Structure 1
């Protein structure tokens, strides 16, 4: 625990265009509440953008910032609040600045896809790190020197990463607890009516067995087989054989517990992965289709439009011009 008159910990938040508003709020509010509960200035924060101009969140909320990266100095801990989807180009100046922050001995954190920018800067090499489950495979494949996990958040030395969303609050409460004691962290959690402070080891997604109950191991095994065989999908007969059930019995389990026949549930899994890859990767449309079990771009495009109401090309084009509510936070 820090002594009462210790100077305020200077925390910077780099807001990327289309940043997650819920993740940002979940990260900054615990710092404000820490000051309010203790009556001390334990934390100071500054909001930073690439060029010092206001930034729009993914919901279109416009947030004013304190400065641009050139004028941000004397930061103890810097958090990169990621964009949705993550921008994979045009980040050269930010990446160079993040490397400079490492040289300045600042602790560095990634919130959601903010972890991707830290990875690009090379500051996560050799560290445990996490990112939103949509981007897990991309981060793991693109940066083999990082020990990527599916955990809610990771604290590895002076590197802090979380999956985004409300997980940012759990990470911040953990860090506050490290610096000022878990009693303060618990008090902050109570103020925000949180049932509990989740740990770093909590999973990002609720496991299927928790959603349908532990009494259906064959169903869980079947879904796991589906999730592990996206590029070359198995037939329903193959899945039934591998889990040791008849096709009819397997179909009854799916209809009763998942409200879908196995083939439709499997198709939905493939479509979800396709949408994720279209939004979060730079793979071509053909590459995405092949990765999700389609034999041609035309077959993939037709199936995607029937499922989501727009073609893969239209999906990507829509991401280039998100709607804005133009609400301003100052």
Structure 2
């Protein structure tokens, strides 16, 4: 467990195990929290757990799940991951922790994944040819995962072999999940992948914007590609998102630039070019204009 861990990931895992125990009628599944910095640890959203000290090769359990959250220091828990591997016991590493694992392990012969946002950052900073955007990848007992909203389904999949078919169905019903997505399913990458949240034409427009960050298109060309006039295009965005298409597009690019600045060591000029700006000064200008924009729209 990391300092400032992901409350969503922790709660998803514990909720699944508690529900599974109720389904089978006994305490089949037990868990404990361990950390390189033991004691009371607070999550991003205020959840507090008491963590025991993590000794890398002591009291190994059947599963190890490393949750993400903020800045991840893998120097301690990576040793425990290796100890679990030597013992032939599976490990699941989620979101930010998966990103840290990939940076250190630099796998070259087996697939790995993390949250799609970090996949883009990793590809900008190095050659990771085995990196995928699937919800999870299992390689030699080490499961890397997008975590976050997929954590509940991942937890179900980890204990599925210990449950009968009827018990698994009841668990899904208790957790109110209609379908447990396979880890091989692609992550919903970008805002445009969130079905039923946008008008179909807006969804297509946002998808085009997200596909053309380093080589931005004119809004008139985007309107042409989805088969509507520029006037109707602008009206759609103003009606549904209270923002112009151009400003929305700029926000997507500025957010990508911000992620690269915070999470990589790329030079500012490289970041500017990767997000469709010809110079550092033009990127800086975009940042300033974005800060001056009204607090409105889906990406504000």
Class of the TM-score when normalised by the shorter of the 2 chains: 0.7 to 0.9
In angstroms, what is the RMSD of aligned CA positions? Answer: 3.2
* Superposed CA offset, 1:221-275 (max 9, x none): 5433322221232222443455565544543444455543321121121122223
For 2:296, the equivalent position in structure 1 comes to none
Q: CA deviation at 1:41?
A: 3.1
For 2:295, the equivalent position in structure 1 comes to none
Structure 1 distance, partners of 2:227, 2:278, is 29
Q: Residue 113 of structure 1: which of 96, 108, 118 is its match?
A: 96
For 1:198, the equivalent position in structure 2 comes to 180
Q: How many residues align?
A: 288
Quick check: 1:148 aligned with 2:160? Answer: no
Map 1:176-215 to 2 at 5 A.
Answer: 176-192=159-175, 194-200=176-182, 201=185, 203-204=187-188, 207=193, 210-214=196-200
- Checking the alignment, whether the CA contact within 8 Å between 2:3 and 2:37 is kept in structure 1 is no
Structure 2 distance, partners of 1:157, 1:179, is 20
* Superposed CA offset, 1:174-199 (max 9, x none): 2222331343233233334x242431
Structure 1 distance, partners of 2:40, 2:57, is 15
Structure with greater contact order relative to length (CA < 8 Å, sep ≥ 6)? 1
For 1:131, the equivalent position in structure 2 comes to 114
Q: Residue 15 of structure 2: which of 12, 29, 33 is its match?
A: 29
Q: Residue 66 of structure 1: which of 30, 52, 60 is its match?
A: 52
Which protein is richer in strand relative to its size? 1
Structure 2 distance, partners of 1:116, 1:123, is 10
For 2:157, the equivalent position in structure 1 comes to 174
* Superposed CA offset, 1:141-192 (max 9, x none): 546253412x444456633333222321111112222331343233233334
What secondary structure does 1:160 align onto? strand
Unaligned runs of 5+ residues in structure 2 are 293-300
Structure 2 distance, partners of 1:143, 1:24, is 31
What secondary structure does 2:88 align onto? coil
Unaligned runs of 5+ residues in structure 1 are 1-14, 310-330
What TM-score, normalized to structure 2?
0.79
Quick check: 1:80 aligned with 2:71? Answer: no
Residues 278-287 or 266-275, more deviating = 278-287
Structure 2 distance, partners of 1:209, 1:70, is 43
- Checking the alignment, whether the CA contact within 8 Å between 2:56 and 2:79 is kept in structure 1 is no
Quick check: 1:17 aligned with 2:22? Answer: no
- Checking the alignment, whether the CA contact within 8 Å between 1:177 and 1:184 is kept in structure 2 is no
Map 1:293-308 to 2 at 5 A.
Answer: 293-308=276-291
- Structure 1 residues 196 and 157, CA, compared in 2 at 3 Å: closer, same or farther? farther
- Structure 1 residues 45 and 267, CA, compared in 2 at 3 Å: closer, same or farther? same
Structure 1 distance, partners of 2:232, 2:46, is 48
Structure 1 distance, partners of 2:58, 2:147, is 23
